[in-house]
Structure 1
Amino acid sequence: MKKKSAGSIAVMLLVMIYLLIPLVISIIYSLFKKWTGILPEGFSIGNYASLFSDPNFLASVGRSVGMCIVPILLTIVIVLLALFVTTIYFPKLEKYVQIICMIPYTIQGVILSVSILSLYVGNKSVLSNRMVMLMGAYCIVILPYIYQGIRNGMRAVNMVTLIEAAEMLGASKIYAFFRVVVPNIISAIIVSSLLAVGIIFGDYVLIRNLAGTSAPNMQIFLYQTMKSDSTKASAVFVIIMFVTFVITAVVLFLKSREGKNRVQKK
């Protein structure tokens, strides 16, 4: 058993090293002014200093985070309500809901953005707003990941049985769903949300086509920086990864703290 565990740890370490190589190289590259030979020249943290003093970059970070929060929360609420209705009241319709939620897997970003523009640009309602179109497009893109994670979580806890047990104690279906089922599938919701964060943070096509340069996120800023300074672009990439890690760490910390509170209450 010890040999197997040591082998597993060694394999995991090799995989981690392999995955972290691009990030480590980007960090090293961003800390030098130029790298035209075998060794870099001019060690400096000027790239990071200039980025954190640039209001445009800070605004792009804020936009990226905001563009993650709104579509993810909206999609989670819609999927939760849809699965509640179909599972409890119309179980025969669940397969059709699943098909609809899986369709975005096959839609390319360019096709989606062009279709949205052609449909809503001439509209005089709020739907013609570029940011509204972008948020709606992100909801569509992340829908399969949110749906699949929540659906698997509901099946794991046997949602119907939990709701029936809560009804026997006098609770309504909707109350039992949000007070009993949702807290028990919070892990599935968190995992799905983290997948969605990675997808939105890595997007360039949708925001470029729908919002243009009027509301640039970190990916747009990275693309514009690559045209002028490659070392500074590496610093932008490192910060993007750092922000992603921070969001993931905060979410996992809140999840672990909630789990500890539950154990203490029991």
Structure 2
Amino acid sequence: MKKRSLSSTLIIIVVIVYLLIPLFATAIYSLFAKWTDLLPENFTVQNYVELLTEKDFMMSLGRTIIICIIPIFLTVLLVLLALFAVTIYFPKLEKYVQLICMIPYTIQGVILSVSIISLYAASPGVLGNRLVMLTGAYCIIILPYIYQGIRNSMHAVNMPMLLEAAEMLGASKLYAFFRVIVPNIISGITVSSLLAVGIIFGDYVLIRNIAGTSFKNVQIYLFLTMKSSSTKASAVFVIIMITTFLITLLVLYLKSRETKHRNQKVKG
């Protein structure tokens, strides 16, 4: 048993190292002013100093984080309400809801962006706003990932039985859903949201076609930087990866803290 555990650990370590090789190579490349020969030249951290003190880059990073939070929040809320209604009141419609939520898997970013612009660009109302269109496009792109994660978590906790138990104690269905079910599926929501963060952080097509340069995110900044300096562009990529890593750590920390607090309340 110990040999099997040791071999499994070694395999996991090898896989992690293999997956991190591109990131390490990019980080090393970004620490030199020039690398056109076998060995790099002029070790420097100037690229990182410039980026972290450059207002344009920090603003683009902030825009990316904001445009991540809003679509994820809206999509999670809508999926929770939809699954609540379908599971409790219309269980026969669940397969159709699942089919609709899986459709974005087949939609390419170019097709989606062109379709949205063609349909809403001339609209005089709020739907004609480019940021509103971009938010809606991101909601569509991340919908399958959010839906699948939340749906699997709901099936794992046996939602109908928990709601029945809560109703016997005098709680309404909707109140019990948000006070009992949602805390029990927070792991699925967290994993789905983090996956959505990675998708939005890596997007270039949608924001380029819909918002253009009027809403420059880090991917737009990265594309423009690649035209002038490859080493600086590598530094941008490293900062993007570190940012997503920090967001992941923050979310997981808050989740573990909330779980610990809830367990203490239960024991108390």
Q: Aligned partners of 2:3, 2:92: CA distance in 1, in Å?
A: 50
Residue 245 of structure 1 corresponds to 245
1:189 aligns with 2:189: yes
Residue 167 of structure 2 corresponds to 167
Residue 93 of structure 2 corresponds to 93
Q: 1:115-194 counterparts in 2 under 5 A?
A: 115-194=115-194
1:20 aligns with 2:20: yes
Structure 1 residue 37 displacement after superposition: 1.3
Residue 63 of structure 2 corresponds to 63
Residue 232 of structure 2 corresponds to 232
Q: Aligned partners of 2:228, 2:66: CA distance in 1, in Å?
A: 27
1:74 aligns with 2:63: no
CA deviation digits over 1:64-112, x for unaligned, max 9? 1001100000000000001111111111111111111010000000000
* Unaligned 5+ runs, structure 2: none
Structure 1 residue 263 displacement after superposition: 2.5
Residue 2 of structure 2 corresponds to 2
Structure 1 residue 220 displacement after superposition: 0.6
Higher alpha-carbon deviation: 256-265 or 193-202: 256-265
Q: Aligned partners of 2:146, 2:76: CA distance in 1, in Å?
A: 7
CA deviation digits over 1:119-163, x for unaligned, max 9? 001110110100000000000000000001111111111111111
Structure 1 residue 30 displacement after superposition: 0.7
Residue 206 of structure 1 corresponds to 206
Q: Aligned partners of 2:156, 2:167: CA distance in 1, in Å?
A: 20
Residue 38 of structure 2 corresponds to 38
CA deviation digits over 1:16-66, x for unaligned, max 9? 111111111111111110011111111111001111111110010001100
Structure 1 residue 259 displacement after superposition: 1.9
CA deviation digits over 1:157-202, x for unaligned, max 9? 1111111110000001110001111111000100100110010001
Structure 1 residue 264 displacement after superposition: 2.0
Structure 1 residue 9 displacement after superposition: 1.3
SS of 1:170's partner is coil
SS of 1:115's partner is helix
Q: Aligned partners of 2:262, 2:171: CA distance in 1, in Å?
A: 21
Identity %: 70
SS of 2:9's partner is helix
CA deviation digits over 1:218-253, x for unaligned, max 9? 011001000100000000000000000000000111
Q: How many residues align?
A: 266
Q: Aligned partners of 2:82, 2:10: CA distance in 1, in Å?
A: 44
SS of 1:163's partner is helix
Q: Aligned partners of 1:6, 1:160: CA distance in 2, in Å?
A: 41
Q: Aligned partners of 1:100, 1:263: CA distance in 2, in Å?
A: 37
Q: Aligned partners of 1:73, 1:261: CA distance in 2, in Å?
A: 23
